[in-house]
A and B are shown apart, each in its own frame.
Chain A
Amino acid sequence: GDSVTQMEGPVTLSEEAFLTINCTYTATGYPSLFWYVQYPGEGLQLLLKATKADDKGSNKGFEATYRKETTSFHLEKGSVQVSDSAVYFCALNWPGGTSYGKLTFGQGTILTVHP
């Protein structure tokens, strides 16, 4: 079945450092890929998404490119802020069929940014 693997955390960075959180997936075909973020005490929020190979999703300075050759969707940000401290989830789903709407999540990566 489908699966998503994220790099293990927690990740601790200083403000303005470069961030990479790795995400790889296993699936038959080409699913849609997502990054969700969960701030303390809040629900998950969609951060960015990509629906086909070579698409780049971007939002709030974060970027991720859908790489079908490496089945990856790594999250990057050039300069993190303290306010980026949160849990980040990589996820996939299928745009149609019986699995429509079902998100398969990675285990989440805790990011802590220090001033």
Chain B
Amino acid sequence: GAVVSQHPSWVICKSGTSVKIECRSLDFQATTMFWYRQFPKQSLMLMATSNEGSKATYEQGVEKDKFLINHASLTLSTLTVTSAHPEDSSFYICSARESDRGYGYTFGSGTRLTVV
């Protein structure tokens, strides 16, 4: 079946540095990718939707300059957390959808980010 590989699975960084998270669709072309954030004991919150070759669409309240999303190819989307602060510590999950897969969203395994 469809597989989405997300890396790294966990990362610890210092305040003020930037962290890049990669999401790759391994056996299908992901025309649309979604980035979610999950706080402890809370739901997954959609951060942004990215379509290959175009700018990402951010949800209300998400800082586009802080969470940079690039979807340069049909198999790769990246989320860069710039100038990270402790409040950015969270669990980030990507999801990919192939153009004709209907409801077939495939999720990555998530990235645990800790900013110290």
Contact = CB atoms under 8 A, between A and B. Distances in A.
B115 interface: no
A112 to B, nearest CB: 15
Interface in A1-51: 4, 32, 34, 36, 41-46, 49
A31 to B, nearest CB: 12
A101 B44 contact: no
Contacts of A103: 34, 44, 46, 95, 105
Interface residues of A, number: 21
Main secondary structure of the interface of B (DSSP, over half): strand
Interface residues of B, number: 23
B49 A89 contact: no
A105 B43 contact: yes
Nearest to A45: B107
Contacts of B97: 101
Q: Which of A32, A43, A46, A102 has the most chain B CB within a 10 Å cutoff?
A: A43
B49 A44 contact: no
A108 B43 contact: yes
**Top 8 A-B pairs, shortest CB-CB distance:** A43-B107, A44-B107, A43-B109, A107-B43, A105-B44, A105-B43, A43-B108, A42-B109
Given A43-B4, A101-B34, A101-B49, 4 more contacts: A34-B103, A43-B109, A102-B49, A103-B46
Interface of A: 4, 32, 34, 36, 41-46, 49, 89, 93, 101-108
